[in-house]
Amino acid sequence: MNDRVHPSAPLAVPTAVRPAPRLRTDPIDEAALQWSAHGWDEATMGMAVLTSVFRVQQILGARVNEALKPFDITFARFEVLALLSFTRHGMLPIGKLGERLQVHATSVTNAVDRLERQGFVERRSHPSDRRAILAVITDAGREVVDVAGPELNRVFANIELSKEQASTLFSLLRTLRRAAGDFP
């Protein structure tokens, strides 16, 4: 955990998501031209947006995975640890974790299972609700958040967008999320 990269070092796109060799043109632009040429003009921009979002998710997801690799955790598991570390007492019912992270109960259970095996989380019975199980962050889990958090924040701080561009993109994506029913 001590072999951290200097904060000013440039972030490289992991080889697994980098096209090889580099393309001369944007394949999504080409796909949009083909979409239109085949009479799908109404859907062309939506296809280009969705395909771009999927590709950017691959690129940024690979960077996040690379940052978390030395800590043997995934982003999903880091989110669980971070959320628990942000709570007053370092614990939440497992069902509440799923709600806050917007994932299915099975996904949270699997993440907590793995974190428990790693010694980063433990399960406890809820003191006032016999049906609920609490996920509780351990000291080792807090250490992972304290050490991995800054590495992950380097990725978040270096997404090749200005603060204004990032804010605009976040606002646009929030519009889509709201329309999908993510929140009121």
Q: Residue for token digits 């399960």?
A: 123
180: Cα within 13 Å, side-chain hemisphere? 8
Residues 6+ apart with CB under 8 A from 81: 73, 115, 120, 121, 137, 141, 142, 144, 145
Average pLDDT in the 146-161 region?
A: 96
pLDDT category at 16 given cuts 50, 70, 90 is low
pLDDT at 2: 44
Total residues belonging to the chain: 184
The edge-to-edge listing of strands for the beta sheet with 121-125 is 91-93, 133-137, 121-125
Q: How many helices (H) and strands (E) does the chain have?
A: 7, 3
Residues 47, 29: one domain? yes
Q: What is the mean pLDDT of residues 1-18?
A: 50
User: For 9, how many CA atoms within 13 A lie in the half-sphere containing its CB?
Assistant: 9
Is 174 domain-assigned? no
Per-residue pLDDT averaged across 153-160, rounded? 95
Looking at the fold, whether 61 and 121 belong to one and the same domain comes out as: no
pLDDT in tens, 28-76: 999 999 999 999 999 999 999 999 999 999 999 999 999 999 999 999 9
- Torsion angles phi and psi, residue 22, rounded to 5: -60, 140
Asked, for residue 62, whether it belongs to a domain, the answer is yes
Do 49 and 93 fall within a single domain? no
Per-residue tokens: 99: 């709600």
* Tally of structural domains, the chain: 2
The pLDDT tens digits of the residues spanning 82-127 come to: 999 999 999 999 999 999 999 998 999 999 999 999 999 999 999 8
d(CA 66, CA 132) in angstroms, rounded, equals 34
Give me the domain span that covers residue 89: 75-146
Check whether 17 has a pLDDT greater than 50. yes
Contact call for residues 48 and 57 (beta carbons, < 8 A): no
Indicate whether 124 and 111 sit together in one domain. Answer: yes
Would you say residue 130 lies in a domain?
yes
Q: What integer pLDDT is reported at residue 6 of this predicted model? A: 42
CATH number, domain of 140, equals 1.10.10.10
pLDDT at residue 23, rounded to an integer: 84
Q: CA–CA separation, 147 vs 171, rounded Å?
A: 30
Q: How far apart are CA 34 and CA 38, in angstroms?
A: 6
Specify if 60 maps to a domain: yes
Q: Please indicate, yes or no, whether residues 82 and 67 belong to a single structural domain of this protein.
A: no
